[in-house]
Structure formats: C-alpha cells, structure tokens
Amino acid sequence: MNDLKISIASGKGGTGKTTIAASLASIIPNSVYIDCDVEEPNGHLLLKPKINTEEFVSKLLPKIDPFKCTVCGNCVEVCEFNALINLKFEITLIDEMCHGCGACAYFCPEKAITEIEKPIGVIRRGITEDNIYFIDGLLNIGEVAAAPLIKAVKKKIPEGGTAPYNTAIGKGTSSYKKGIIAVKNEFYDSQIDNETTSYKKEIPKGRDDFDKNDFDNKIFSDNKSFLDNVKPESSSSEYFKTYIIDSPPGTSCSMVEAVIDSDYCVLVTESTPFGLNDLKLAMEVLKTIRVPFGVVINKYDDSYREMEKYLEESKTDLLLKIPFDRKYAVSYSKGILPLVLYPELRTDFFDLYETIKRMIGLEMGKVQSV
Amino acid sequence: MNQEQTEEMKNTKEKIAFTSTGGSMESLLSEQFGRCQYFIIVDPETGKFDAISNLGEQMQSGAGPKAAELIHHHGANVVVTGHVGDKAEDVLKRVNIKIVTGYKGNIKVKDALTEYLSK
Ligand code: SF4
Ligand code: SF4
C-alpha cells in the first residue's frame, strides 16, 4: 500500500472542517497535517505545533522597462488574468491579479519584461507534541494568489511513497536537508532556494522560545526516531504514511488545488438547508475532478431529515455523524480538540479512519477491475 | 502628467461613459462599474452615442481595471456610474477620467445624462 492522501473539504465555512481534519490527524500515528486553508489557517490553534521552519514563498511579477516598451499591447492580450492594463502611454500591472505565469515576458517582442520576485506568503513547518508533522501556508493580506501558495505548500508533500523527513538523511540532495542547511546558514545570511523560489529566513528570536541548538537536535533526533519506525516501502506492503489535507472552504479554484490529487476527500457538512445546498455544490466539483468522497455530518441534528435522505438517494457514503453538543464548541473555542476532552469522540475518529481506508481500498479495487 | 497630455486634455471634447444595463439611451443605468453589461459613451455636443458591450460581466476577477481600460480606449474622459472599486479607480485616475458616482440603477441613461449636464 502506498501513502494515503486524505483531504478534508466543505462547501461552506463554519462547518467544523478544521476540527475534523485536526482530530483525524491527531489519532493517526506519524501523520502529516497540511493546512491549505491559506487565507485563514486555523489548524495550528488546535494542534499547537512547535514551528521549526518558516519559508517565504514568492511569485514572479513582470517588470516592464519603459524605455524598451513600445506599448504594442501584446502582453496585455496574452495575460489571461487581466493583470495588465494598457493606458496607451504605458502598460501598468495590477500586482494582486498577477499569477506570475510568465506569458507576458515570453511574448514581449521587445524583451522589455523581466520578472522579479514578490512575497505572497509563508510556509510554516513543525511538529506537535504527539509527533504529528505539521505544515501550513499563510497568505499575505490582500494577496489573491491563494492557489500558487497552496501549490507551494503541497510541494512539501513528496510525490510517491517516500516520506518527507526520512530522505533527509539518506540522500544528500533532498530538499529537506537543503532546508536544514539553509536554515542554519540564515544565521549568517539568507539564501534563496532556486527550486521552490522560496527564501528561508531566520525565525525571529523569542518566538516559541526558539533556540538554535535545541532546534537542530530536535530535527535530527526526530528524523532518527521517525526513521526507526519506518520500513522501506519495498520490504513491506503494509507501510504507508497518511497525509491529512485541510482544504479551503467553498468550491473555488483554491479548493480544487487543495483536493485535486487526494486519494479520498471527506466532505464536512452540517444539518441545515444551507449545509445541504453547499454540500451539493462541493460534490459536483469532486465528481468533476474524479476524487472519491464521503460525507461527515457535523453538528448533527436528527430533526433535519433532508440531509440523510439526499445522501441515500444520491448513493453517497455517510462516514460519520457527530451530534451537536455545546461542550464541543466550547472546547474548540478554547483551542482544545474536542476529542482530547471527550474520549467517546476518539472512537468515532478511529472508526472514521478505518472506514476511509476501506473506502479507498474499494475505490482501488474498482479501478483495477475496470 | 506631461505637457503633451495636458494639451490633449484641453483640446479634447467631453465624452461621457455611462454604465448601462442595455445598449440604448432608454436602458437603465447600471450601478456596477466593472460588471455592467454595456457602456454608453455619449458626445454631449452632438448627442451621438456608442454602445460598447463590456466583457467584464463574465470575468472572474479583475473586471474593474479592464473596464477602465476599455472606456479609456474609446476616448471617454468622464464616467457616470453607481460605484467604482479601488483598483478601477486607480486606473481611471491615471488616465484622467473624471469619476462621477452615486447614481442609482432606477434611472434611464438619457435621464442620467440630462441630470449630469444640468449640474
Ligand atoms: S509586449 Fe512588451 S513592448 Fe509590447 S506592450 Fe508589452 S511590454 Fe511593451
Ligand atoms: S505573469 Fe502572467 S498573469 Fe502576470 S501579468 Fe504576465 S501574463 Fe499576466
């Protein structure tokens, strides 16, 4: 079995998606929790990771040399994101609209456009007390390019069956090891990682009682203890690692970016007509991009029957119902995962995880038999 | 603004762009700048007008600045509408288009023209 990528999405905000995602991550040993809700990443409030690295992510913005530009308008025409405006006497760029695709520079006949980097957000990585690996992205305020940042965050999820942290020791060129080196160097200066076009910078002193030596030890010792638990993929078909991807709410292109390559998507909804309506929209998206999914009804209210009726009619898998309970909300508002305080929820989440694995198994069987 | 532009401003006649829900003077004014269906660009001296359909209506984002670009390229130097977003406002200001906002969508373009000219 390979790694599992499970995304947690929701057609609307406020359904408790992050609580579900963080809870699920918390009961899976050595799982990796990835918060892709970059406009409002809240997972760290519940999982309370110790952040080891912060990387600044940039996008490339075109810069037009007014002396070379003849205002021919080619660049404006090829820009699909409406980021360039032809003022007739010059071309102007609307920074926030630009996705940094580079088309304008490529098509400029005068070679008047060069590309410069502009920071759009930061990727934070760390580990929780319970050994849950933590990655999140935080978008700069006013920045619209959520999808590129999500893409950068997801680049931290290695492709294929290798776990992210064990390659650091085995292969000298892995990006993680480079990461460590870069972070070390930053105590002297900052360095650009060409591969990801991200800078790694010194973490400001004082944050989380940050201590360099402690940090180095932590990473290497974590690697070691982690490696001890890891069997190489080839020697055991049982080994896999689970990634929990917390998607942005809604059905925008950032949601698609977050869930697109997952093995399974858990759609979180609530027992209200609005919940049902947004659930339908999210289901449409997942069907289009062919990601298998099931539904968790949070804040379940058994007087609202339409939800279950709809799921039954549409033959959608209902994975779990979490009854509405004030105490869960109170625990969340204090930044504590409800399952920490209320063990009955733990069993629910173990069951949820088992169900998802079974579902993925079924999906794979389906694919193979076709 | 350079000398040339100032001169150009002095010499050009007023051309007023109205955001509109339809392609004629009888259409109702649109309160939205970037996402209006049409721009009606009027030459008040001759009373002649052009109706230009606005692609911004279907744009996911960035409609405002593109609409500003559109009316600029059609020679407008005044825009009469309900509301203009920040990014569009920046572009309009840079190309010296006067912004007149606060109009409601319950009046016809021709009445908005009369009202504007009477001021
Ligand atoms: S394509 Fe190049 S020369 Fe043409 S308007 Fe754009 S920047 Fe200027
Ligand atoms: S880089 Fe791409 S999105 Fe940005 S201005 Fe150029 S063509 Fe448009």
Examine the pLDDT at A217 and tell me if it is beyond 50: no
Assess whether pLDDT exceeds 70 at residue A352.
Answer: yes
Tokens 């298998």 -> residue:
A292
Q: Is the pLDDT of residue A204 over 70?
A: no
Tell me what pLDDT residue A159 has.
42
Residue A142 φ/ψ region, left for φ over 0, alpha for ψ in the -120 to 50 degree band, beta for the rest: left
Helix (H, G, I), strand (E, B) or coil at A337: coil
Q: What is the pLDDT of residue A209?
A: 38
Question: CA-to-CA distance for A65 and A63, rounded, in angstroms?
Answer: 7
DSSP string, A300-326: E-TT--HHHHHHHHTT--EEEEEE--H
* In-domain check, residue B101: yes
Helices B86-94 and B63-73: crossing angle, nearest 10°?
20
More confident residue, A163 or A335: A335
- Return the CATH number at B97: 3.30.420.130
Contact: B69, A85; criterion CB under 8 Å: yes
Closest approach of chain A CAs to the CA of B106, in angstroms?
Answer: 30
CA-nearest residue of chain B to A252? B60
Which distant-in-sequence residues (6+ apart) come within 8 Å of A82 by Cβ?
Answer: A94, A97, B59, B61, B62, B63, B65, B66
pLDDT digits (tens, 9 = 90+) for A125-182: 999 998 899 999 999 988 877 888 999 999 888 643 333 443 332 232 333 333 332 2
Pocket of ligand 1 (CB under 6 A): A 64, 69-75, 91, 108, 110, 112-113
Does position A330 have pLDDT exceeding 80, yes or no?
A: yes
CATH of the domain spanning A4-38+241-369: 3.40.50.300
* CA A342 to centroid of ligand 2, rounded, Å: 50
- What predicted TM-score, i.e. pTM, was given to this entire model? 0.66
Q: Is the dihedral of CA A310, A316, A320, A326 positive or negative?
A: negative
DSSP assignment string, B20-33: ESSSSTTSBBPSBS
Place of tokens 């007087």: A303
Total residue length of chain A: 370
- Nearest-Cα distance to chain A for B45, in Å, is 25
Name which of A245, A258, A259 is nearest A34 in CA terms: A245
Helix (H), strand (E) at residue B53: strand B49-53
- Flag whether pLDDT at A322 surpasses 80: yes
Give A94's contacts in chain B (Cβ within 8 Å): 62, 65, 87
Of B62, B69, B95, the CB nearest to A81: B62
Average pLDDT on A77-105 reads: 92
CA A261 from centroid of its chain's CA atoms: 11
Nearest residue in A to B67, CA atom:
A85
> Distance between CA A271 and CA A39 in Å, rounded?
25
- Is position B76 within any domain? yes
Range with the lowest mean pLDDT among A111-125, A211-225, B83-97? A211-225
**Higher pLDDT residue, A69 or A220?**
A69
Q: Do B66 and A85 touch (CB under 8 A)?
A: yes
Q: How close is the nearest chain A Cα to the Cα of B55, in Å? A: 11
Phi-psi region of A139 (alpha: psi -120 to 50; beta: other; left: phi over 0): beta
CATH level 3 topology of A61-118:
Alpha-Beta Plaits (3.30.70)
* Domain range list for chain A: 4-38+241-369, 61-118, 174-237
Band of residue A246 on the pLDDT scale cut at 50, 70, 90 = very high
- Atom 8, ligand 2: residue with shortest CA distance: A79
Domain count, chain B: 1
Q: The tokens 């762009």 sit on which residue?
A: B17
User: Measuring CA to CA, how many Å separate B4 from each of A206, B1, B76?
Assistant: 56, 8, 18
Percent of chain A with pLDDT over 90: 60
Q: Is B87 helix (H, G, I), strand (E, B) or coil?
A: helix
Confidence tier at A14 by pLDDT (50, 70, 90): confident
The per-residue pLDDT for A79 is 95
Distance from CA of B69 to the nearest CA of A (A): 6
Residues of chain B with confidence (pLDDT) below 70: 1-12
Residue in A69, A74, A78, A79 to alter for ligand 2 test, most ligand atoms within 8 A of Cβ = A79
Provide the 3-class DSSP secondary structure of residue A188. Answer: coil
Q: Which residue type is seen at A92?
A: T
pLDDT, position B57: 74
Decide if A97 and B65 are in contact by the 8 Å CB cutoff.
yes
Nearest-angstrom CA–CA distance, A209 and A262:
35
Test B95 with A144 for CB contact under 8 angstroms: no
Residue corresponding to tokens 């409406």: A82
Nearest CA to ligand 1 atom 2: A108
Check if A91 has its Cβ closer than 6 Å to any atom of ligand 2: no
Phi and psi at A124, nearest 5°, equal -110, 140
Contact list in A for residue B94 (CB cut-off 8 A) is: 87, 92
Show residues of chain A in contact with B95, CB under 8 Å: 87-88
Write out chain B residues lying below 8 Å of A86, CB-based: 69, 73
In a domain, B21, yes or no: yes
Contacts of A89 in chain B (CB under 8 A): 5
Average pLDDT of A348-365?
A: 87
- Which tokens in the block code for residue B110? 């021709």
Q: Burial-class residue B73 by CB neighbours within 10 Å (0-12, 13-18, 19+).
A: middle
pLDDT band at A68 (very low <50, low <70, confident <90, very high): very high
Q: Which chain A residues touch B63 with a CB distance below 8 Å? A: 82
Pairwise CA distance, residues A349 & A344, whole Å? 9
Interface of A with B in 33-52 (CB under 8 A): none
Task: Look at A87 and B5 and tell me if their CB atoms are within 8 Å.
Answer: no
**Which two tokens mark B50?**
């052009």
- Residue of B2, B13, B34 lying closest to B77 (CA atoms): B13
Cα-Cα-Cα-Cα dihedral sign, residues B81, B84, B88, B94:
positive
Interatomic CA distance for residues A148 and A57, integer angstroms: 9
The token pair at A31 is 């799982």
Checking ipTM against 0.90, whether it exceeds it is no
Indicate which ligand has the atom closest to the C-alpha of A104. 2
- Residue B82 counted as domain residue: yes
Mapped onto helix, strand or coil, the DSSP state of residue A115 is strand
**Which one of A82, A87, A99 would you mutate to disrupt binding with B, by most B Cβ within 10 Å of its Cβ?**
A82
- pLDDT digit string, tens, across residues A261-311: 999 999 999 999 999 999 999 999 999 999 999 999 999 998 999 999 999
Share of chain A above pLDDT 70, in %: 75
A209 sits in the region (left: phi over 0; alpha: psi -120 to 50; else beta) called: left
Closest partner CB to B72 (pick from A88, A94, A97): A88
Summarize the confidence of residues A330-336 as an average pLDDT.
91
What is the crossing angle of helices A343-369 and A17-27, to 10°?
Answer: 90
* Domain annotation covers residue B39: yes
Which residue's CA is minimally distant from atom 2 of ligand 2?
A101
As a whole number of angstroms, the distance between CA B28 and CA B112 comes to: 9
Task: Say if residue A216's pLDDT is above 60.
Answer: no
pLDDT tens digits, A181-201? 223 223 222 333 333 334 343
Quote the DSSP letter at residue A62.
Answer: E
Q: Do B62 and A89 touch (CB under 8 A)?
A: no
Is residue B3 one of the residues assigned to a domain? no
Residue B63 belongs to domain spanning: 13-117
